[in-house]
Amino acid sequence: MPTDAGRGLKARGSAARSGLAETVEVSLTFEDNRLASLVFGQYDQNVAHIERRLEVTATALGNHLVLKGPPDAAEKARRVFERLYGRVAKGGTALTLGDVDGVIQEVTVQGNLFPSAEVAAEPEREHFEQIATRRRGAVRARNAAQSEYIKLLRSNELVFAEGPAGTGKTWLAVGHAVSLLEQGHAERLILSRPAVEAGERLGFLPGDMREKVDPYLRPIYDALYDFMEARHVDRGLQTGVIEIAPLAFMRGRTLTNAVVLLDEAQNTTSMQMKMFLTRLGENSRMIITGDPSQIDLPPGQKSGLVEAVSILDGVEGIGRVRFRDVDVVRHDLVRRIVTAYEAASHGEAEADRNPMSRRRPLA
């Protein structure tokens, strides 16, 4: 984003060297006070978040912002604030911390991929992919893994997405499916999940088939209502344009002109996964999401997701994206929780490989 007054902000910088550590000061002035307040966030929470993430000092006063820190960090922070200002100038809505993290990731990746002169010449060049629906408008990926995920969804007939909770696997899959439906590239949305309890024993559930299955599919409903008006979702469910189907009901079907999503696929058996994969018909797309670290199958039973990604590795027309703990966008605390569990899991695996390390030293 050009930093002249015509684009809504002004910038200036100065540098000071103290010993071996160089610190620069960058000043930004936003012309629209209302938009500046949206960029800074309530009680300047966005400013504080960027300070922690980029290790700079940021002081906001009115529509004025002063950044201090190492040259690279200060420059990155400047570009983040300019990009955020451009976002709110276009949308006029408040930013979430997830939006801020997404811009930080975007600026970081662009800084690694493009020469600095090119970035300066095209500061608004978008790198991360986005999807668009009528209700939410454009939704941009918040990190490189999500951007790669959206690319794969566009270019492959079958996509596997693996990774921990909170990385946006299901949410982006539903958004992509809704966009294909709205653009006329698909006639139906078929959404499915294996009905496996996460450690509980729910027993007999009263009601008809849909009422029995709904509790298992609630996360998919939530994503649908995020991307579509409630009345459109309800109408789609009534007319069959949107179909919520338990995995067991897929046998014998050929799914044509549809986008088919299988969520929580780590809880499918080998037979169920093979059955599901062979339902793909003409002009259809399949998206399969799951977290191999949260398998709720009986002990000793192999996960259909883990087996399928191994068997189908390298097959033309199949894409695969693997999210990591650093890609969690749900909440920063969720990311730290996932990281802690990953570290504990690796520690246990290392102990299993080296049993001597668990022996107590002799007194």
Per-residue pLDDT tens digits for 199-213: 444 455 566 656 666
- Check residue 3 and give its pLDDT: 43
- End-of-domain residue from the set 121, 145, 169: 121
User: pLDDT higher for 81 or 208?
Assistant: 81
Predicted pLDDT at 227: 92
Whether residue 355 is contained in a domain is answered as no
The answer on 236 and 295 residing in a single domain is: yes
Q: What tens digit of pLDDT does each residue of 26-37 get?
A: 888 888 888 888
Q: Residue 196: pLDDT band by 50, 70, 90 thresholds?
A: low
Q: Looking at the structure, do residues 168 and 240 belong to the same domain, yes or no? A: yes
pLDDT at site 92? 64
Measure the CA–CA gap between 304 and 137, rounded to whole angstroms. Answer: 35
Instruction: Please indicate, yes or no, if residue 362 is contained in any of the structural domains.
Output: no
The confidence band for 112, taking pLDDT boundaries of 50, 70 and 90, is very low
Based on the fold, state whether residues 185 and 257 are members of the same structural domain: yes
The identity of residue 137, as a single letter, is G
Residue at 198 is within a domain: yes
Q: Distance (Å, rounded) from C-alpha 160 to C-alpha 286?
A: 9
Q: What is the pLDDT of residues 133-148, one digit of tens each?
A: 888 888 888 888 888 9
- The mean pLDDT of 146-174, rounded to a whole number, is 92
Distance (Å, rounded) from C-alpha 156 to C-alpha 256? 16
Residues 116 and 136 in one domain: no
Better-scored residue on pLDDT, 160 or 246:
160
- Give me the helices (H) in the chain, please: 33-40, 45-54, 71-91, 97-113, 116-121, 144-155, 169-182, 209-227, 230-239, 270-277, 304-311, 332-353
Query: How many domains is the chain partitioned into structurally?
Result: 2
Banded pLDDT at 362 (limits 50, 70, 90): low
- State yes or no: pLDDT of 262 exceeds 50: yes
Using alpha carbons, list the distances in angstroms from residue 168 to 140, 165, 172: 12, 8, 6
Q: pLDDT tier at 194 (50, 70, 90 boundaries)?
A: confident
Q: Which pLDDT score, from 0 to 100, does residue 155 have? A: 92
pLDDT at 132 over 80: yes
Share of the chain above pLDDT 90, in %: 32
- One domain for residues 195 and 256: yes
Burial class (CB in 10 A: 0-12, 13-18, 19+), 25: middle
pLDDT at 319 over 90: yes
Burial 346-359 (b: 16+ CB within 10 A, else e): eeeeeeeeeeeeee
Helices 33-40 and 71-91, axial angle in degrees (round to 10) = 120
Residues 261 and 199 reside in one and the same domain = yes
Q: Find the mean pLDDT for residues 103-123.
A: 55
| Same-domain status, 92 and 179 | no
Is pLDDT above 50 for 330? Answer: yes
**Mean pLDDT in residue range 313-332:** 84
Query: Residue 178: is its pLDDT beyond 90?
Result: yes
Is 283 domain-assigned? yes
**pLDDT for residue 321:** 94
Average pLDDT of every residue of the chain:
80
Residue 39 in tokens = 């960029």
pLDDT at residue number 124: 43
142 and 9 in one domain? no
Rounded CA-CA distance 124/287 in Å is 31
Give the domain-ending residue among 75, 101, 121.
Answer: 121
DSSP letter string over 57-79? EEEEETTEEEEEE-HHHHHHHHH
Asked if residue 228 and residue 136 are part of one domain, the reply reads yes
What is the pTM (predicted TM-score) of this model?
Answer: 0.67
More confident residue, 137 or 126: 137
- What tokens were used for 280? 């793909």
- Domain CATH number, residue 26: 3.30.1370.10
Residue 337's CATH number: 3.40.50.300
Same domain, 97 and 148: no
Q: What domain range is 305 assigned to?
A: 131-346
* Structural domain contains residue 280: yes
Confidence at residue 349, expressed as pLDDT on a 0 to 100 scale: 62
pLDDT at 16: 55
The answer to whether residues 197 and 115 belong to one domain is no
Same domain, residue pair 204 and 73: no
Question: How confident is residue 10, by pLDDT bands cut at 50, 70 and 90?
Answer: low
Q: Give the model's pLDDT for residue 235.
A: 93
pLDDT value at residue 118: 39
Final residue before a domain boundary, out of 82, 100, 121: 121
Indicate whether 232 belongs to any domain: yes
